[in-house]
Amino acid sequence: QVQLVESGGGLVQAGGSLRLSCAATGSIFSINAMGWYRQAPGKQRELVAIIRSGGSTNYADSVKGRFTISRDNVWTMYLQMSSLKPEDTAVYYCNAVVQALNYWGKGTLVTVSS
């Protein structure tokens, strides 16, 4: 079992920056990959970025060059978001994959005003 808690969301103007954090507890040494997903109102949840245990990363095309995913230890993950756009407005969820099982945080709201 892995528990995930996100923080760092809020209201920001277009062009601004925010950093999201995700703290993992529980069976953290079994985590194969962690990632950020987002869900905008009326839309499906989508992958934003993922970082694997070996350090490799992938990003959605819509955030490449603007967002950076990182981990500073086994249990903390970040999403640095820059040049934010109104279309980045969504609830952002932290995800962890443990032996093909997905664990989710409760989400943190990011609102980008134009």
pLDDT in tens, 31-58: 889 999 999 999 999 999 999 988 999 9
Predicted local confidence at residue 45, as pLDDT: 97
Task: Give the chain as a 3 state SS string.
Answer: CEEEEEECCEEEECCCCEEEEEEEEECHHHCCEEEEEEECCCCCCEEEEEEECCCCEEECCCCCCCEEEEECCCCEEEEEECCCCHHHCEEEEEEEEECCEEEECCCEEEEEEC
List the chain residues with pLDDT less than 50: none
